[in-house]
């Protein structure tokens, strides 16, 4: 029940679409009022020259493996203020200890799916 909803993050799709539509309309309204003060000079691509060759087998591949970049794997109990919220044997969210008996986590961790 909670596990499937907890894996999603961010706002619900309806809210995100509404926000995107609003921002698009807002930017279009302001774009109509914009008039540049000077016309930029035309550019020429003759000065651009490639510097090297791209190897297709390496293009788009990261140079590191795993989810940790520039750090190291944390040992258990190394950061005791961090917590894992587990429901029915599955990790659903992270949390942080803010007092002896209180954890702080994100609101989306506790939304029920319908």
What does the pLDDT profile of the chain (114 residues) look like in tens digits? 444 444 444 445 556 666 666 666 556 655 555 555 666 666 665 666 666 666 666 666 666 566 666 777 777 778 788 888 998 999 889 999 998 889 999 988 888 765
* Spatial contact of 84 and 92, defined as CB atoms under 8 Å apart: no
User: 79-114 architecture in CATH?
Assistant: Beta Barrel (2.40)
The residue among 96, 76, 92 whose CA lies nearest residue 9 is 92
Residue 43 CA to residue 50 CA, distance in Å, equals 17
pTM, whole model, 2 decimals? 0.34
Q: In a 10 Å sphere around its CB, with 0-12 CB exposed, 13-18 middle and 19+ buried, how is residue 6 labelled?
A: buried
Segments making up each domain of the chain, as ranges: 79-114
- The pLDDT of residue 105 is 92
């Amino acid at each position: 029940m909670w596990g499937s909803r907890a894996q999603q993050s961010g706002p619900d799709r309806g809210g995100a679409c509404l926000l995107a539509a609003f921002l698009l309309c807002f930017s279009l309204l302001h774009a109509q009022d914009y008039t540049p003060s000077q016309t930029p000079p035309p550019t020429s691509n003759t000065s651009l020259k490639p510097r090297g060759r791209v190897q297709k087998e390496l293009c788009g591949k990261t140079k590191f493996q795993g989810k940790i970049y520039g750090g190291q794997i944390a040992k258990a109990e190394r950061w005791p203020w961090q917590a894992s919220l587990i429901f029915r044997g599955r990790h659903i969210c992270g949390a942080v200890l803010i007092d002896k008996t209180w954890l702080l986590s994100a609101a989306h961790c506790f939304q029920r799916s319908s």
